[in-house]
Amino acid sequence: MTEIAKLGEFGLINHLTNDIKVKNISTKYGIGDDCAVLSYPDKQVLITTDMLMEGVHFDLTYIDMQHLGYKAAQVNISDIFAMNATPRQLLVSMALSKRFTVEDVEQFYEGLKAACNEWQVDIVGGDTTSSYTGLAISITCIGEADKDEIVYRNGAKDTDLICVSGDLGAAYMGLQLLEREKTVYYQQVDEARKKNNTQALEQLKTFQPDFSGKEYLLQRQLKPEARGDIVAQLREAGIRPTAMMDISDGLSSELLHICKQSHCGCRIYEKNIPIDYQTAVMAEELNMNVTTCAMNGGEDYELLFTVPIGDHAKIEAMQGVKLIGHITRPEYGTMLVTRDDTEFELTAQGWNPLKAEDKV
Amino acid sequence: MTEIAKLGEFGLINHLTNDIKVKNISTKYGIGDDCAVLSYPDKQVLITTDMLMEGVHFDLTYIDMQHLGYKAAQVNISDIFAMNATPRQLLVSMALSKRFTVEDVEQFYEGLKAACNEWQVDIVGGDTTSSYTGLAISITCIGEADKDEIVYRNGAKDTDLICVSGDLGAAYMGLQLLEREKTVYYQQVDEARKKNNTQALEQLKTFQPDFSGKEYLLQRQLKPEARGDIVAQLREAGIRPTAMMDISDGLSSELLHICKQSHCGCRIYEKNIPIDYQTAVMAEELNMNVTTCAMNGGEDYELLFTVPIGDHAKIEAMQGVKLIGHITRPEYGTMLVTRDDTEFELTAQGWNPLKAEDKV
């Protein structure tokens, strides 16, 4: 294991980035100067940034550095797709405490590069520095779109159909699963210590929780995929959403954003919310309401979008997209219709990153 | 004082940003969607990002939140000027632990906005989240330039003149001063505690160190200014630097970057390095070599640039720019010529952010 200070900032950056080859013609100059230089003569430029703090946004007992790098990139790329745009460049800043080694950062970059390669995104800059307290990550992603292609949150109209890609709640269930296994593990360690059972303690060092039958939940939590495929499908089908965003804080919270910014109401149907079989089983096991998990769970990184009612047949024909309700006039409120036809006002119970206890 | 969790992420962002008015025609959409949207049909786009960690890059016992916001913005804006470009947009991410209040973040934004207003920069997005451990800040700044205007680090040529703006070492001396006063303060508190001197302890609560005669050093450390004025002056004088960067890690380290990337050597003269009177006095007081401080101190945010020898007269006529040496062929090395005509090879003793003990 190599101490980071040994390489120094410039040595480390060089070590991590010297194999990066520029893929986009819009990237004029990448890493190596005060700024990266881009050129977008015919397109509008989209830019988004996210900060990820150890302990708040990720727990390195659950996720390894490679998955973390992959996820950090996908999550930002997802924001570009959510505007119906194409991701092109990415900047990555990391602050690392002394417990991180060069190999750890290499792993992070492996994951980051894998995600960037998947979407043909150029890593063009960033900052690498130290922290006294764990790992902090900040990613900025840049994309492009024709002016008329960009889809904001504010374009939803009365009678528009509300659609989501993929399924919801699985990433949150994956997190619950990881947290449960962590608790079980520490309980076993505690017990073994109390009983002074050195053999059990030794065995626990190589403890591997059994996740069989729950692989999808883990994958959704640890290896989310930005839905560029859905954006491409919509384009092929000739559908231009009227409003769109990605679901990072839970369907409920995101739908409220669209309704607020579009000055409209909505009606969505519990029975239409796409939920995977593993999500339902896990919710059952944990005695949680699976709809609540899907509505408020967060980290799904699926796309939530609205389309004109005239696109109904096209949407029905699409793979991986589910019609969950429709937009209404604002006076009808923002409602969830349950399986037994009761109406509930949507509330943003999504994860509040400023009050970590708040979740669901 | 208002707890941040009370407002929530969106409430807080709204509270901080609802008075922001877009100033640049390149800003098509600012805060409020998945991405900001920019338009640069006729210019190249420059982008830079920086991460600032509490305890590593700033100490809130020295700097208040308003100055920190101001400095964080100026430091990033400085990177845009360092490419001979014009700053236009800025994104700001903050991760805050529970000890920070809404009022703290307001103060930070006050400073941030003051710097952005000074340079007509639009705040177009960012991220606000929580941290378990202090304050983390990440700023991304976007600028524009004509393709032919952009000045990289790699264009310096044999016989070019090496110039710096302003003076060097003062920001570092300011930091030394603040650290000295902090040490003195805690020594006094310790002594008063040992002697159980409650009266002295009470007086120490309102302790105000005497910084008279050293105001410039503090200003340089706490309130740096990006040198957009120098970029404008160069343009007016019809001078296009062959290479340029800003001095954040110390003259020595930055000059080595230019020489490495331009495949050249350099010769600079100790007697020409601009040093303020207060910097010299403070170095004397602390028994430090003032040239070493100017060469390796860092955080000056002055511009280091090279110009063709034909611009000699124009540079001589400019206010606030000092000619410190010249570029040579690479085989002559990267040399500092001292007052007594001794030659020293330059070494990058600049601050290594990955090894905080490393400084000077």
Q: Determine the Cα–Cα distance for residues B49 and A355; give it in Å rounded to an integer.
A: 27
pLDDT for residue B355: 46
pLDDT value at residue B136? 97
Nearest to A91 among B12, B47, B126 (CB): B47
- Both structure tokens of B339: 């007052």
φ and ψ of B326, to 5 deg = -150, 160
Q: Provide the mean pLDDT of chain B.
A: 93
A157, A115 contact by CB (below 8 A) = no
Three-class SS of residue B3? strand
The share of chain B scoring above pLDDT 90, in percent, equals 81
Annotated binding site of A for ATP: 109, 126-127, 153, 248
**DSSP assignment of B80-91:** HHTTT-EEEEEE
Chain A hits for B49, Cβ within 8 Å: 91, 93, 125-127, 138, 140
Residues of B in contact with A56 (CB under 8 A): 95, 129-132
Homologous superfamily of domain range B160-175+220-345: PurM-like C-terminal domain (3.90.650.10)
pTM metric for this prediction = 0.93
Helix (H, G, I), strand (E, B) or coil at B142: strand
pLDDT at position B347 is 86
State pLDDT tens for residues B122-167.
Answer: 999 989 999 988 999 999 999 999 999 999 999 999 999 999 999 9
B244 Cα to chain A: minimum distance (Å)? 9
> What percentage of chain A exceeds 70 in pLDDT?
97
pLDDT at B9: 79
Distances (CA, A) of A133 to A55, A95, A177, A297, B58: 10, 9, 27, 28, 14
The domain locations on chain B are: 4-145, 160-175+220-345
Nearest Cα to Cα of residue A304 among A205, A234, A207: A234
Residue A41: closest CA among chain B residues belongs to which residue? B41
Q: Which segments of B are annotated as binding site for Mg(2+)?
A: 34, 48-50, 79, 127, 246, 249
Sequence-ordered alpha helix ranges (H) in chain A: 4-17, 65-81, 102-118, 170-194, 198-204, 215-222, 228-236, 251-262, 277-285, 290-296, 312-317
Q: Which chain B residues are within 8 Å of A72, Cβ to Cβ?
A: none
Q: B87 - beta bridge partners? A: B143
State the average pLDDT over residues A89-103: 95
Sequence-distant (≥ 6) Cβ neighbours of residue B314 within 8 angstroms: B237, B238, B239
Local structure of B138: helix, strand or coil: strand
Model confidence band, residue B1 (pLDDT cutoffs 50, 70, 90): confident
**Residue closest to B300 by CA, chosen among B205, B226, B358:** B226
Asked if A78 contacts A246 with a C-beta cutoff of 8 angstroms, the reply is yes
Kindly report the nearest CA distance between residue B102 and chain A, in angstroms. Answer: 11
CA angle A76, A258, B20 (to 5 degrees): 70
> Measured between alpha carbons, how far is A133 from B133 in angstroms, rounded to an integer?
6
DSSP H helical ranges for chain B: 4-17, 65-81, 102-118, 170-194, 198-204, 215-222, 228-236, 251-262, 277-285, 290-296, 312-317
Q: Do A129 and B57 touch (CB under 8 A)?
A: yes
C-alpha B98 chain-centroid distance = 28
DSSP calls for B284-336: HHTT--HHHHHHH-----EEEEEE-GGGHHHHHHSTTEEEEEEEE-GGG-EEE
Mean pLDDT, range B261-280, rounded to an integer: 97
Residue A340, number of CB atoms within 10 A of its CB: 6
* CA B302 – CA B283 distance, rounded (Å): 20
8 Å CB contact of A127 and B36: no
Mean pLDDT calculated for residue range A71-85: 98
Share of residues in chain B with pLDDT > 70 (%): 97
- Tell me how far apart the alpha carbons of residues A152 and B34 are, in angstroms, rounded to a whole number: 8
Q: Give the pLDDT mean for A170-196.
A: 92
- Nearest CB neighbour to A38, from listed B5, B45, B246: B45
- Interatomic CA distance for residues B249 and B297, integer angstroms: 7
Residue contact A352–B8, C-beta within 8 A: yes
* pLDDT, position B203: 86
Enumerate the known binding-site residues of A for substrate. 57, 299, 351
Is the per-residue pLDDT at A271 higher than 70?
yes
Contacts of B31 in chain A (CB under 8 A): none
Per the CB < 8 A criterion, the answer to whether B65 and B107 are in contact is: yes
Q: Is the predicted pLDDT of residue A352 greater than 50, yes or no?
A: no
pLDDT of residue B354: 47
Contact B150 A96 (CB under 8 A): no
Among the partner residues B48, B128, B354, nearest to A125 by beta-carbon distance: B48
Q: Report the residue from B7, B35, B47 with minimal CB separation from A38.
A: B47
Best-predicted range by mean pLDDT (A208-217, A336-345, B80-89): B80-89
CA-nearest of B352, B345, B227 to B298 is: B352
- A-chain residue closest to B101, CA distance: A354
Q: Percentage of residues in chain A with pLDDT exceeding 90?
A: 81
Distance from CA of A331 to the nearest CA of B (A): 23
Residue B200 C-alpha, separation from nearest chain A C-alpha, in angstroms: 33
Predicted confidence at residue B353, as pLDDT, reads 46
How far is Cα B133 from Cα B139, in angstroms, rounded to an integer? 19
DSSP string, A8-66: HHHHHHHHHHTT-----TTEEE-SSSSSEEEE-SSSEEEEEEEEEEBTTTB-TTTS-HH
Distance from B340 to chain A by nearest Cα, in Å?
A: 33
Q: What are phi and psi of A243, to 5 degrees?
A: -150, 150
pLDDT in tens, B310-329: 999 999 999 999 999 999 99
Instruction: Compute the distance between CA of residue A104 and CA of residue A123 in angstroms, rounded to an integer.
Output: 18
Is the confidence at residue B357, as pLDDT, over 90?
A: no
Q: Is the dihedral of CA A169, A170, A175, A178 positive or negative?
A: positive
Residue range B287-302: mean pLDDT, rounded: 94
Chain A residues with CB under 8 Å of B40 CB are: 40-41, 45
Mean pLDDT of B186-209: 87
Please indicate whether, in this complex, the C-beta atoms of A57 and B353 are within 8 angstroms of each other.
no
For the domain covering B4-145, report its CATH number: 3.30.1330.10
CA distance to partner chain B, nearest, from residue A272 (Å):
25
Q: Are B327 and B265 in contact (CB under 8 A)?
A: yes
State which amino acid sits at residue B255: L
Alpha-carbon torsion (A320, A324, A325, A326), positive or negative: negative
Check residue A29 and give its pLDDT.
Answer: 94
Three-state secondary-structure class, residue B92: strand
Nearest chain A residue to B142 by CA distance is A35
